[in-house]
Protein backbone atom coordinates (compact mmCIF):
# COMPACT_ATOMS: atom_id res chain seq x y z
CA UNK A 1 0.00 0.00 0.00
CA UNK A 2 1.26 3.46 -0.77
CA UNK A 3 -0.14 6.73 0.40
CA UNK A 4 -0.13 9.81 -1.77
CA UNK A 5 0.27 13.16 -0.14
CA UNK A 6 0.60 15.67 -2.91
CA UNK A 7 -2.54 17.28 -4.28
CA UNK A 8 -2.15 18.10 -7.95
CA UNK A 9 -3.36 21.53 -8.92
CA UNK A 10 -6.38 20.74 -11.03
CA UNK A 11 -8.84 23.52 -10.95
CA UNK A 12 -11.06 22.55 -13.82
CA UNK A 13 -12.62 19.27 -14.98
CA UNK A 14 -11.17 19.89 -18.45
CA UNK A 15 -7.65 19.11 -17.16
CA UNK A 16 -8.64 15.44 -16.93
CA UNK A 17 -9.33 15.25 -20.68
CA UNK A 18 -12.46 13.26 -20.09
CA UNK A 19 -14.60 11.88 -22.89
CA UNK A 20 -16.58 14.69 -24.50
CA UNK A 21 -19.93 13.17 -23.44
CA UNK A 22 -18.83 13.42 -19.81
CA UNK A 23 -17.49 16.94 -20.23
CA UNK A 24 -20.80 17.97 -21.77
CA UNK A 25 -22.80 16.36 -19.00
CA UNK A 26 -20.66 18.05 -16.36
CA UNK A 27 -21.11 21.51 -17.79
CA UNK A 28 -24.81 20.88 -18.42
CA UNK A 29 -25.21 20.01 -14.75
CA UNK A 30 -23.16 22.99 -13.61
CA UNK A 31 -20.12 21.09 -12.30
CA UNK A 32 -16.99 23.13 -12.98
CA UNK A 33 -14.40 22.54 -10.30
CA UNK A 34 -13.51 19.08 -9.06
CA UNK A 35 -13.73 18.65 -5.31
CA UNK A 36 -10.53 17.59 -3.48
CA UNK A 37 -11.47 13.90 -3.50
CA UNK A 38 -12.17 14.12 -7.22
CA UNK A 39 -8.85 15.87 -7.84
CA UNK A 40 -6.96 13.18 -6.01
CA UNK A 41 -8.90 10.14 -7.22
CA UNK A 42 -9.64 10.73 -10.88
CA UNK A 43 -6.07 10.72 -12.30
CA UNK A 44 -4.89 7.42 -10.72
CA UNK A 45 -8.27 5.88 -11.37
CA UNK A 46 -8.04 6.75 -15.06
CA UNK A 47 -4.74 4.86 -14.98
CA UNK A 48 -6.66 1.81 -13.69
CA UNK A 49 -4.98 1.80 -10.30
CA UNK A 50 -6.57 0.12 -7.30
CA UNK A 51 -7.55 2.73 -4.73
CA UNK A 52 -8.78 2.88 -1.18
CA UNK A 53 -10.29 6.31 -0.72
CA UNK A 54 -11.56 7.82 2.49
CA UNK A 55 -13.32 11.14 2.37
CA UNK A 56 -16.12 12.56 4.40
CA UNK A 57 -19.76 12.35 3.47
CA UNK A 58 -20.81 14.96 0.95
CA UNK A 59 -17.31 15.42 -0.47
CA UNK A 60 -18.23 14.24 -3.96
CA UNK A 61 -17.14 10.61 -3.99
CA UNK A 62 -19.78 9.55 -6.52
CA UNK A 63 -18.33 11.58 -9.39
CA UNK A 64 -14.85 10.63 -8.18
CA UNK A 65 -15.53 7.04 -9.24
CA UNK A 66 -18.15 7.48 -11.96
CA UNK A 67 -16.15 9.88 -14.12
CA UNK A 68 -12.95 7.83 -14.55
CA UNK A 69 -14.87 4.56 -14.81
CA UNK A 70 -17.28 5.82 -17.46
CA UNK A 71 -14.42 7.50 -19.30
CA UNK A 72 -12.53 4.24 -19.55
CA UNK A 73 -15.65 2.45 -20.78
CA UNK A 74 -16.42 5.13 -23.35
CA UNK A 75 -12.97 5.40 -24.90
CA UNK A 76 -12.80 1.64 -25.39
CA UNK A 77 -16.18 0.53 -26.67
CA UNK A 78 -16.78 -3.18 -26.35
CA UNK A 79 -20.38 -4.19 -26.87
CA UNK A 80 -19.75 -7.87 -26.42
CA UNK A 81 -18.04 -7.77 -23.05
CA UNK A 82 -21.17 -7.90 -20.92
CA UNK A 83 -20.94 -6.06 -17.64
CA UNK A 84 -17.73 -4.05 -17.56
CA UNK A 85 -18.18 -2.08 -14.35
CA UNK A 86 -20.02 -2.98 -11.17
CA UNK A 87 -20.83 -0.57 -8.34
CA UNK A 88 -21.85 -2.20 -5.06
CA UNK A 89 -23.62 -0.02 -2.51
CA UNK A 90 -25.33 -0.75 0.83
CA UNK A 91 -28.88 0.43 0.21
CA UNK A 92 -31.44 0.44 -2.58
CA UNK A 93 -31.98 4.16 -2.22
CA UNK A 94 -28.31 4.87 -2.78
CA UNK A 95 -28.18 2.49 -5.76
CA UNK A 96 -31.10 4.34 -7.31
CA UNK A 97 -29.42 7.69 -6.71
CA UNK A 98 -26.13 6.64 -8.33
CA UNK A 99 -27.99 5.00 -11.21
CA UNK A 100 -29.77 8.28 -11.98
CA UNK A 101 -26.50 10.20 -11.82
CA UNK A 102 -24.93 7.64 -14.14
CA UNK A 103 -27.72 8.01 -16.66
CA UNK A 104 -27.26 11.76 -16.66
CA UNK A 105 -23.56 11.36 -17.38
CA UNK A 106 -24.21 8.87 -20.17
CA UNK A 107 -26.77 10.98 -22.00
CA UNK A 108 -26.17 10.91 -25.74
CA UNK A 109 -23.91 7.85 -25.57
CA UNK A 110 -24.78 4.25 -26.38
CA UNK A 111 -23.52 2.93 -23.04
CA UNK A 112 -26.20 1.40 -20.86
CA UNK A 113 -26.44 1.55 -17.09
CA UNK A 114 -28.49 -0.93 -15.09
CA UNK A 115 -29.86 -1.17 -11.57
CA UNK A 116 -29.96 -4.42 -9.60
CA UNK A 117 -31.53 -4.30 -6.16
CA UNK A 118 -33.77 -6.44 -4.02
CA UNK A 119 -37.46 -5.75 -4.20
CA UNK A 120 -37.45 -5.44 -7.98
CA UNK A 121 -38.26 -7.99 -10.66
CA UNK A 122 -35.70 -10.83 -10.62
CA UNK A 123 -36.16 -11.96 -14.25
CA UNK A 124 -35.74 -8.44 -15.56
CA UNK A 125 -32.48 -8.09 -13.67
CA UNK A 126 -31.23 -11.42 -14.93
CA UNK A 127 -31.89 -10.23 -18.49
CA UNK A 128 -30.19 -6.98 -17.77
CA UNK A 129 -26.97 -8.83 -17.02
CA UNK A 130 -27.32 -10.85 -20.23
CA UNK A 131 -27.87 -7.77 -22.32
CA UNK A 132 -24.47 -6.16 -22.15
CA UNK A 133 -25.33 -3.52 -19.62
CA UNK A 134 -21.93 -1.87 -19.39
CA UNK A 135 -22.25 -0.54 -15.87
CA UNK A 136 -24.40 -2.06 -13.17
CA UNK A 137 -25.22 -0.41 -9.85
CA UNK A 138 -26.36 -2.92 -7.28
CA UNK A 139 -26.89 -3.97 -3.70
CA UNK A 140 -24.93 -7.12 -2.78
CA UNK A 141 -27.83 -9.41 -1.80
CA UNK A 142 -29.51 -9.53 -5.17
CA UNK A 143 -26.26 -9.81 -7.10
CA UNK A 144 -25.42 -12.84 -5.02
CA UNK A 145 -28.78 -14.43 -5.88
CA UNK A 146 -28.16 -13.81 -9.56
CA UNK A 147 -24.73 -15.41 -9.28
CA UNK A 148 -26.29 -18.66 -8.13
CA UNK A 149 -27.84 -18.99 -11.61
CA UNK A 150 -24.61 -20.53 -12.77
CA UNK A 151 -23.47 -17.93 -15.24
CA UNK A 152 -20.45 -15.69 -15.00
CA UNK A 153 -21.74 -12.19 -15.67
CA UNK A 154 -18.60 -10.53 -14.32
CA UNK A 155 -15.87 -12.52 -16.02
CA UNK A 156 -14.99 -9.54 -18.21
CA UNK A 157 -15.40 -6.97 -15.50
CA UNK A 158 -12.95 -4.09 -15.81
CA UNK A 159 -13.79 -2.11 -12.68
CA UNK A 160 -15.34 -3.10 -9.37
CA UNK A 161 -16.39 -0.25 -7.09
CA UNK A 162 -17.36 -0.67 -3.46
CA UNK A 163 -19.07 2.50 -2.32
CA UNK A 164 -19.80 3.17 1.37
CA UNK A 165 -17.74 0.12 2.24
CA UNK A 166 -17.92 0.91 5.95
CA UNK A 167 -21.69 0.88 5.80
CA UNK A 168 -21.75 -2.38 3.84
CA UNK A 169 -19.66 -3.92 6.60
CA UNK A 170 -22.02 -2.50 9.24
CA UNK A 171 -24.95 -4.03 7.46
CA UNK A 172 -23.34 -7.45 7.40
CA UNK A 173 -22.58 -7.54 3.68
CA UNK A 174 -18.93 -8.37 4.18
CA UNK A 175 -19.17 -12.02 3.10
CA UNK A 176 -21.49 -11.19 0.21
CA UNK A 177 -19.08 -8.57 -1.08
CA UNK A 178 -16.14 -10.97 -0.82
CA UNK A 179 -18.05 -13.68 -2.66
CA UNK A 180 -19.05 -11.30 -5.43
CA UNK A 181 -15.46 -10.05 -5.72
CA UNK A 182 -14.31 -13.66 -6.18
CA UNK A 183 -16.68 -13.98 -9.15
CA UNK A 184 -15.17 -10.92 -10.82
CA UNK A 185 -12.40 -10.92 -13.37
CA UNK A 186 -9.15 -11.20 -11.45
CA UNK A 187 -7.41 -8.54 -13.52
CA UNK A 188 -9.99 -5.88 -12.84
CA UNK A 189 -9.39 -2.53 -11.21
CA UNK A 190 -10.98 -2.14 -7.76
CA UNK A 191 -11.96 1.11 -6.06
CA UNK A 192 -13.05 1.09 -2.44
CA UNK A 193 -14.70 4.16 -0.93
CA UNK A 194 -15.38 4.76 2.72
CA UNK A 195 -16.19 7.75 4.89
CA UNK A 196 -13.71 6.46 7.39
CA UNK A 197 -10.62 4.36 7.70
CA UNK A 198 -11.04 3.88 11.42
CA UNK A 199 -13.92 1.49 10.92
CA UNK A 200 -12.80 -1.96 11.95
CA UNK A 201 -12.88 -4.02 8.82
CA UNK A 202 -12.37 -1.47 6.07
CA UNK A 203 -8.64 -2.02 5.81
CA UNK A 204 -9.15 -5.75 6.18
CA UNK A 205 -11.58 -5.74 3.30
CA UNK A 206 -9.17 -3.64 1.23
CA UNK A 207 -6.47 -6.24 1.82
CA UNK A 208 -8.73 -9.01 0.64
CA UNK A 209 -10.40 -7.33 -2.32
CA UNK A 210 -7.82 -4.86 -3.57
CA UNK A 211 -4.58 -6.58 -2.57
CA UNK A 212 -2.22 -3.96 -4.00
CA UNK A 213 -3.58 -0.49 -3.70
CA UNK A 214 -2.94 3.16 -3.18
CA UNK A 215 -4.48 4.85 -0.16
CA UNK A 216 -5.97 8.29 -0.59
CA UNK A 217 -7.07 9.63 2.77
CA UNK A 218 -8.70 13.04 2.65
CA UNK A 219 -10.63 13.15 5.85
CA UNK A 220 -11.14 11.01 8.82
CA UNK A 221 -13.99 10.87 11.28
CA UNK A 222 -12.28 13.27 13.62
CA UNK A 223 -12.20 16.03 11.07
CA UNK A 224 -14.01 19.04 12.22
CA UNK A 225 -17.25 19.83 10.48
CA UNK A 226 -17.14 23.63 10.59
CA UNK A 227 -20.18 24.12 8.37
CA UNK A 228 -22.42 22.02 10.59
CA UNK A 229 -23.38 23.46 13.94
CA UNK A 230 -23.81 20.70 16.48
CA UNK A 231 -25.98 21.28 19.51
CA UNK A 232 -27.35 19.19 22.33
CA UNK A 233 -30.54 19.78 24.31
CA UNK A 234 -30.98 17.98 27.63
CA UNK A 235 -34.28 16.25 28.30
CA UNK A 236 -35.87 14.47 31.26
CA UNK A 237 -37.52 11.56 29.43
CA UNK A 238 -39.08 10.59 26.11
CA UNK A 239 -42.25 12.59 26.57
CA UNK A 240 -40.16 15.67 27.38
CA UNK A 241 -38.14 14.90 24.27
CA UNK A 242 -41.33 14.79 22.20
CA UNK A 243 -42.25 18.27 23.38
CA UNK A 244 -38.79 19.56 22.59
CA UNK A 245 -38.92 17.93 19.16
CA UNK A 246 -42.29 19.51 18.39
CA UNK A 247 -41.01 22.89 19.59
CA UNK A 248 -37.88 22.67 17.45
CA UNK A 249 -39.81 21.67 14.36
CA UNK A 250 -42.05 24.64 14.89
CA UNK A 251 -39.42 27.24 15.76
CA UNK A 252 -36.43 26.38 13.57
CA UNK A 253 -36.35 27.51 9.97
CA UNK A 254 -35.57 24.77 7.48
CA UNK A 255 -36.49 23.53 4.06
CA UNK A 256 -36.31 19.91 5.13
CA UNK A 257 -35.64 18.26 8.47
CA UNK A 258 -34.53 14.74 9.26
CA UNK A 259 -35.35 13.17 12.63
CA UNK A 260 -33.42 10.06 13.65
CA UNK A 261 -34.46 7.46 16.14
CA UNK A 262 -32.56 4.32 17.11
CA UNK A 263 -35.45 1.92 16.54
CA UNK A 264 -38.21 1.33 14.04
CA UNK A 265 -40.81 1.27 16.80
CA UNK A 266 -39.69 4.65 18.09
CA UNK A 267 -39.72 6.14 14.60
CA UNK A 268 -43.28 4.92 14.11
CA UNK A 269 -44.32 6.19 17.52
CA UNK A 270 -43.06 9.70 16.79
CA UNK A 271 -44.95 10.20 13.58
CA UNK A 272 -48.51 10.76 14.79
CA UNK A 273 -47.67 13.18 17.61
CA UNK A 274 -45.56 15.25 15.21
CA UNK A 275 -48.30 15.27 12.62
CA UNK A 276 -50.79 16.31 15.28
CA UNK A 277 -48.83 19.55 15.66
CA UNK A 278 -49.47 20.34 12.00
CA UNK A 279 -46.04 19.27 10.70
CA UNK A 280 -45.90 17.35 7.40
CA UNK A 281 -43.98 14.29 8.58
CA UNK A 282 -43.42 10.77 7.25
CA UNK A 283 -41.54 7.66 8.43
CA UNK A 284 -38.81 5.65 6.65
CA UNK A 285 -37.36 2.41 7.96
CA UNK A 286 -36.33 -1.05 6.93
CA UNK A 287 -39.65 -2.75 7.75
CA UNK A 288 -41.23 -1.11 4.75
CA UNK A 289 -41.37 -2.81 1.40
CA UNK A 290 -39.49 -1.38 -1.51
CA UNK A 291 -42.47 0.33 -3.10
CA UNK A 292 -43.36 2.07 0.12
CA UNK A 293 -39.80 3.24 0.69
CA UNK A 294 -39.65 4.68 -2.80
CA UNK A 295 -42.94 6.46 -2.29
CA UNK A 296 -41.71 7.98 0.97
CA UNK A 297 -38.41 9.12 -0.55
CA UNK A 298 -40.22 10.72 -3.46
CA UNK A 299 -42.60 12.63 -1.20
CA UNK A 300 -39.66 13.89 0.83
CA UNK A 301 -37.42 14.68 -2.12
CA UNK A 302 -40.25 16.58 -3.82
CA UNK A 303 -41.00 18.47 -0.63
CA UNK A 304 -44.57 17.21 -0.30
CA UNK A 305 -43.54 16.31 3.24
CA UNK A 306 -40.65 18.19 4.81
CA UNK A 307 -39.91 16.14 7.91
CA UNK A 308 -38.58 12.60 7.54
CA UNK A 309 -38.44 10.39 10.62
CA UNK A 310 -35.94 7.64 10.01
CA UNK A 311 -33.76 4.94 11.48
CA UNK A 312 -30.07 4.73 10.58
CA UNK A 313 -31.02 3.10 7.31
CA UNK A 314 -31.49 6.58 5.90
CA UNK A 315 -28.31 7.87 7.51
CA UNK A 316 -25.82 6.91 4.87
CA UNK A 317 -25.28 7.91 1.34
CA UNK A 318 -28.56 9.63 0.68
CA UNK A 319 -28.02 13.03 -0.80
CA UNK A 320 -31.09 15.16 -0.61
CA UNK A 321 -30.91 18.88 -1.15
CA UNK A 322 -32.28 21.22 1.46
CA UNK A 323 -31.86 19.15 4.62
CA UNK A 324 -30.92 21.99 6.93
CA UNK A 325 -31.82 20.40 10.21
CA UNK A 326 -31.03 16.97 11.63
CA UNK A 327 -32.47 16.05 15.00
CA UNK A 328 -31.31 12.97 16.89
CA UNK A 329 -34.30 12.04 18.99
CA UNK A 330 -31.97 9.57 20.65
CA UNK A 331 -28.20 9.70 20.94
CA UNK A 332 -26.86 7.44 18.18
CA UNK A 333 -25.23 4.21 19.30
CA UNK A 334 -21.74 5.28 18.34
CA UNK A 335 -19.68 8.08 16.86
CA UNK A 336 -19.67 6.59 13.41
CA UNK A 337 -23.46 6.57 13.24
CA UNK A 338 -23.45 10.11 14.58
CA UNK A 339 -21.19 11.33 11.79
CA UNK A 340 -23.26 9.62 9.15
CA UNK A 341 -26.48 11.04 10.51
CA UNK A 342 -25.27 14.59 10.65
CA UNK A 343 -23.64 14.19 7.26
CA UNK A 344 -27.15 14.31 5.78
CA UNK A 345 -27.11 18.04 6.34
CA UNK A 346 -24.51 20.53 5.20
CA UNK A 347 -24.14 18.74 1.85
CA UNK A 348 -21.46 20.27 -0.39
CA UNK A 349 -20.80 23.54 1.36
CA UNK A 350 -24.26 24.39 2.66
CA UNK A 351 -24.56 25.04 6.34
CA UNK A 352 -26.53 22.76 8.58
CA UNK A 353 -27.74 22.45 12.14
CA UNK A 354 -27.88 19.24 14.13
CA UNK A 355 -29.51 18.90 17.51
CA UNK A 356 -29.19 15.81 19.69
CA UNK A 357 -31.69 15.27 22.49
CA UNK A 358 -29.97 13.75 25.48
CA UNK A 359 -31.57 12.27 28.57
CA UNK A 360 -29.63 11.26 31.66
CA UNK A 361 -29.17 7.62 30.63
CA UNK A 362 -27.60 8.82 27.37
CA UNK A 363 -25.18 11.33 28.84
CA UNK A 364 -22.16 9.03 28.87
CA UNK A 365 -22.80 7.81 25.37
CA UNK A 366 -22.99 11.41 24.20
CA UNK A 367 -19.80 12.32 26.06
CA UNK A 368 -18.07 9.32 24.48
CA UNK A 369 -19.08 10.54 21.05
CA UNK A 370 -17.73 14.00 21.88
CA UNK A 371 -14.40 12.51 22.84
CA UNK A 372 -14.32 10.30 19.78
CA UNK A 373 -14.93 13.26 17.52
CA UNK A 374 -12.66 15.48 19.59
CA UNK A 375 -15.17 18.24 19.66
CA UNK A 376 -17.68 19.65 22.07
CA UNK A 377 -21.29 20.03 21.23
CA UNK A 378 -22.94 23.34 21.98
CA UNK A 379 -25.35 23.07 24.89
CA UNK A 380 -28.63 24.76 24.13
CA UNK A 381 -31.37 25.58 26.60
CA UNK A 382 -34.93 26.04 25.52
CA UNK A 383 -36.41 28.35 28.11
CA UNK A 384 -40.00 27.41 27.43
CA UNK A 385 -39.25 23.72 27.96
CA UNK A 386 -36.61 23.72 30.66
CA UNK A 387 -36.40 20.34 32.39
CA UNK A 388 -34.90 19.02 35.59
CA UNK A 389 -31.96 17.17 34.08
CA UNK A 390 -29.00 19.53 33.77
CA UNK A 391 -26.18 17.05 33.30
CA UNK A 392 -24.63 14.60 35.75
CA UNK A 393 -24.54 15.62 39.40
CA UNK A 394 -20.81 15.16 39.92
CA UNK A 395 -20.12 17.31 36.94
CA UNK A 396 -17.03 19.43 37.27
CA UNK A 397 -16.70 22.59 35.29
CA UNK A 398 -13.74 22.32 32.95
CA UNK A 399 -13.33 26.05 32.79
CA UNK A 400 -13.86 26.04 29.06
CA UNK A 401 -17.03 27.51 27.74
CA UNK A 402 -18.81 26.33 24.68
CA UNK A 403 -21.41 28.54 23.10
CA UNK A 404 -21.54 30.53 26.33
CA UNK A 405 -22.29 27.42 28.38
CA UNK A 406 -19.98 25.46 30.60
CA UNK A 407 -18.66 22.29 29.07
CA UNK A 408 -18.95 19.29 31.28
CA UNK A 409 -15.98 17.20 32.22
CA UNK A 410 -17.12 13.64 32.06
CA UNK A 411 -14.01 11.66 32.83
CA UNK A 412 -15.29 10.27 36.10
CA UNK A 413 -18.66 9.22 34.82
CA UNK A 414 -19.30 5.51 34.66
CA UNK A 415 -19.93 4.36 31.13
CA UNK A 416 -23.38 2.93 30.58
CA UNK A 417 -22.82 1.50 27.16
CA UNK A 418 -19.35 0.24 27.65
CA UNK A 419 -19.29 -1.73 24.44
CA UNK A 420 -20.04 1.20 22.25
CA UNK A 421 -17.70 3.54 24.05
CA UNK A 422 -14.89 1.06 23.87
CA UNK A 423 -15.38 0.58 20.21
CA UNK A 424 -15.25 4.33 19.71
CA UNK A 425 -12.47 4.94 22.14
CA UNK A 426 -10.04 2.38 20.93
CA UNK A 427 -9.55 4.23 17.67
CA UNK A 428 -8.77 7.56 19.25
CA UNK A 429 -5.43 8.84 18.16
CA UNK A 430 -4.59 5.61 16.40
CA UNK A 431 -3.62 5.32 12.86
CA UNK A 432 -4.31 1.82 11.70
CA UNK A 433 -1.25 0.21 10.33
CA UNK A 434 -1.74 -1.73 7.14
CA UNK A 435 -1.88 -5.43 7.70
CA UNK A 436 1.29 -7.37 7.26
CA UNK A 437 -0.28 -9.11 4.31
CA UNK A 438 -0.64 -5.88 2.36
CA UNK A 439 1.74 -5.76 -0.52
CA UNK A 440 3.39 -2.49 -1.33
CA UNK A 441 2.12 -1.10 -4.57
CA UNK A 442 5.47 0.13 -5.69
Contact positions vs ligand ADP (CB under 6 A): 31, 33-35, 38, 55, 57-63, 319, 347-348
- Residue 29's nearest CA partner among 89, 103, 93, 92 is 103
CB nearer to ligand ADP: give 94 or 270. 94
Sequence-ordered strand ranges (E) for 113-199: 113-116, 135-138, 159-162, 189-194
Close Cβ partners of 3 (under 8 Å, ≥ 6 residues apart):
214, 215, 216, 217
Taking the complex as a whole, the smallest distance from the CB of residue 211 to Mg ion amounts, in Å, to 24
Residue 60 binds which one of ligand ADP, Mg ion, none, with CB within 5 to 8 A depending on kind? ligand ADP
Close Cβ partners of 417 (under 8 Å, ≥ 6 residues apart):
333, 364, 365, 368
| Residue 210: φ, ψ to 5° | -100, -30
Q: Are strands 281-284 and 189-194 parallel, antiparallel or unpaired?
A: unpaired
Residue 155 to residues 176, 212, 333, 365: CA-CA distances in angstroms?
A: 17, 20, 40, 47
Stretch that binds Mg ion, among 245-253, 309-317, 402-410, 421-429 (CB under 5 A): 309-317
CB nearer to ligand ADP: give 82 or 346. 346
CB nearer to Mg ion: give 317 or 368. 317
- Residue 60's nearest CA partner among 47, 48, 42, 73 is 42
| 61 makes contact with Mg ion (CB under 5 A) | yes
# residues contacting Mg ion (CB under 5 A): 2
Residue 35 binds which one of Mg ion, ligand ADP, none, with CB within 5 to 8 A depending on kind? ligand ADP
Residue 347 binds which one of ligand ADP, Mg ion, none, with CB within 5 to 8 A depending on kind? ligand ADP
CB nearer to Mg ion: give 54 or 133. 54
- State in Å, rounded, how far the first CA of the chain is from the last one: 8
Residue 44 binds which one of ligand ADP, Mg ion, none, with CB within 5 to 8 A depending on kind? none
Residue 63 binds which one of ligand ADP, Mg ion, none, with CB within 5 to 8 A depending on kind? ligand ADP
Taking the complex as a whole, the smallest distance from the CB of residue 190 to ligand ADP amounts, in Å, to 18
| Residue 327: φ, ψ to 5° | -115, 125
Residue 257 binds which one of Mg ion, ligand ADP, none, with CB within 5 to 8 A depending on kind? none
Chain residues that interact with Mg ion, rule: CB under 5 A: 61, 317
Amino acid sequence: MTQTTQTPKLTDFSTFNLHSALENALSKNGFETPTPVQQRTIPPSLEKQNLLVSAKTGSGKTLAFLLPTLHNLLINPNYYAGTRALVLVPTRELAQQIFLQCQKLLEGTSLKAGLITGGEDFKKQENLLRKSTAIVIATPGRVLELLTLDNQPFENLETLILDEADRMLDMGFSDDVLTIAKHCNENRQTLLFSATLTHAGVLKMADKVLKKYELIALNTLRDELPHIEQQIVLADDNSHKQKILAWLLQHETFEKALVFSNSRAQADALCDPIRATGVRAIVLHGDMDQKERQRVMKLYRDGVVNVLIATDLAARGLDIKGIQLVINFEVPRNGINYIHRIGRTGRSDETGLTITLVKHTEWNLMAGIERFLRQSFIRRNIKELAGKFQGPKKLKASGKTVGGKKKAETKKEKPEKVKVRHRDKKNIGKRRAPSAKTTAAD
